[in-house]
């Protein structure tokens, strides 16, 4: 007989209190917590390269860039995620030190175990964030970026590969180079 795991429902406030002292990060979906796995070298390197380039671009522009230790809160769905890179320019996000509610850009670096979720249910959840203008998926198996952009309430996809040399993040008026994004990444 296979035992069904028991999950105990917790409130968002209980989750936030638990996360403050937890040694590992958890994402929160509808009252249940899910431990996050560590990332591999290409994943971490790509996220750092992207965050560094964006941070330099946004310096002095009243926007903040966060990496994987900052939670994105989706109030309407009762969910918290840890995006790999997140940008917020909304002054309301200065009110909380451990979560952001009004990001304009979210970037997820894909891994084998999370790609389906990042492209599917997580993207659907992120679409409930009214301030979100762009959702970006960065591939770790080859040089490719998928940028989902919201225009007039609808989402459109622009894909970039290293054949183009550059990519655009229109939400923050940024043009990046594949050579910089994938610097030090071994395929």
| Residue 11 covered by a domain | no
Q: Is residue 22 in some structural domain?
A: no
Which residues is 146 bridged to in the sheet?
Answer: 137, 159
Whether 18 is covered by a domain: the verdict is: no
Task: Provide the pLDDT for residue 7.
Answer: 60
Q: What is the DSSP string of 100-142?
A: ES-EEEEEEE--TTTHHHHHTHHHHHHTT-TT--EEEEE-SSS
Q: Record the pTM.
A: 0.91
107: containing domain: 39-181
Q: How are beta strands 64-67 and 79-81 bridged, if at all?
A: unpaired
pLDDT in the model for residue 5 = 40
Note the pLDDT of residue 102: 98
Domain total in the chain: 1
Give the model's pLDDT for residue 179. Answer: 95
Q: Is residue 66 part of a domain?
A: yes
Q: How high is the pLDDT of residue 6?
A: 44
Tell me the pLDDT tens digit for each residue of 12-46.
999 999 999 888 899 999 888 888 877 889 999 99
Question: For each successive 10 residues of the chain (187 residues), what is the average pLDDT?
Answer: 54 91 89 85 96 97 95 94 97 94 97 91 97 97 96 96 93 96 93
Output the pLDDT for position 173. 97
pLDDT at res. 9: 85
Q: Return the CATH number at 160.
A: 3.90.1570.10
């Amino acid at each position: 007989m296979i035992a069904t795991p028991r999950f105990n429902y917790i409130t968002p406030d209980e989750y936030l209190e638990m996360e403050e002292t937890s040694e590992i990060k958890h994402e929160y979906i509808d009252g249940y917590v899910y431990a996050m796995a560590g990332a591999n070298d290409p994943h971490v390197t790509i996220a750092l390269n992207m965050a560094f380039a964006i941070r330099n671009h946004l310096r002095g522009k009243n926007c903040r860039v966060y990496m994987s230790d900052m939670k994105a809160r989706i109030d309407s769905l009762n969910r918290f995620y840890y995006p790999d890179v997140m940008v917020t320019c909304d002054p309301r996000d200065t009110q909380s030190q451990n979560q952001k509610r009004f990001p304009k850009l979210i970037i997820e670096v894909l891994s084998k175990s999370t790609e389906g979720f990042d492209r599917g249910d997580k993207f659907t959840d992120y679409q409930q964030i009214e301030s979100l203008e762009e959702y970006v998926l960065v591939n770790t198996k080859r040089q490719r970026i998928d940028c989902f952009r919201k225009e007039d309430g609808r989402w459109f996809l622009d894909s970039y590969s290293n054949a183009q040399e550059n990519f655009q993040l229109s939400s923050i008026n940024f043009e990046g180079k594949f050579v910089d994004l994938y610097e030090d990444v071994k395929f």
